[in-house]
A and B are shown apart, each in its own frame.
Chain A
Amino acid sequence: EAGVAQSPRYKIIEKRQSVAFWCNPISGHATLYWYQQILGQGPKLLIQFQNNGVVDDSQLPKDRFSAERLKGVDSTLKIQPAKLEDSAVYLCASTKSPTGLAYNEQFFGPGTRLTVL
């Protein structure tokens, strides 16, 4: 089966510009996650979707970050405007299980490395 797809793989922008990342999870996976991974740190959850609904967005900086998963399949994460501290790798992951079945592993995409100058 195809893995989690993300694009672009790399992005360089100036501060105050906007950027969008795309993620296509594994087919049939109900839950989708966006993580921010700053160099030298572990992934930090930004937002979690189950189908097209938001389960957790408590750590999403909502003044500049937004995400959607309109049809419950692929998802877009946007940053507007970007700040220097947004430089990080943005990871998308998916799990087959809906909420309630915690055993299933997360499958990760290759990530998008964002550099804000």
Chain B
Amino acid sequence: AQTVTQSQPEMSVQEAETVTLSCTYDTSESDYYLFWYKQPPSRQMILVIRQEAYKQQNATENRFSVNFQKAAKSFSLKISDSQLGDAAMYFCAYRTMNTGNQFYFGTGTSLTVIP
């Protein structure tokens, strides 16, 4: 089974600064999807950004961008111009292209934004 590792249980960033959350994964597949989800204290998980493994270009969504290194199996999230509303748990997720298309989640990184 695929595994997703987030090695930073907690991170903090000053408001308006940039922070990078790391994620690595283990897979033998060549095609898959990667996601970053945000879970605020209210606990409803929402999608931040997604990346198709076959695309070399890194995905961006406004202040959020990823650094996808397929050979290294690394998928980091960069948050620019951090805002107080960015404070949340961030989960990296892998979705297999095999039968079932299961999702595998990392253990999460708790991001604190300091005013």
Binding site for B on A (CB under 8 A): 31, 33, 40-45, 48, 55-56, 89, 91, 93, 97, 99-103, 105-106, 108-111, 113
Contacts and interface: CB of A to CB of B under 8 A. Distances in A.
Contacts of B33: 102-103
Interface of B: 4, 6, 32-33, 35, 37, 42-47, 50, 52, 91, 95-97, 99-108
A49 to B, nearest CB: 11
A102 B106 contact: no
Given A42-B108, A43-B91, A102-B33, A108 B45 contact: yes
Contacts of B104: 45
A93 B35 CA distance: 15
Given A42-B91, A93-B45, A113-B43, 20 more contacts: A41-B108, A42-B4, A43-B45, A43-B105, A48-B102, A99-B100, A100-B101, A101-B101, A102-B33, A102-B97, A103-B33, A105-B47, A106-B45, A106-B47, A106-B103, A108-B37, A108-B44, A108-B45, A109-B44, A110-B44
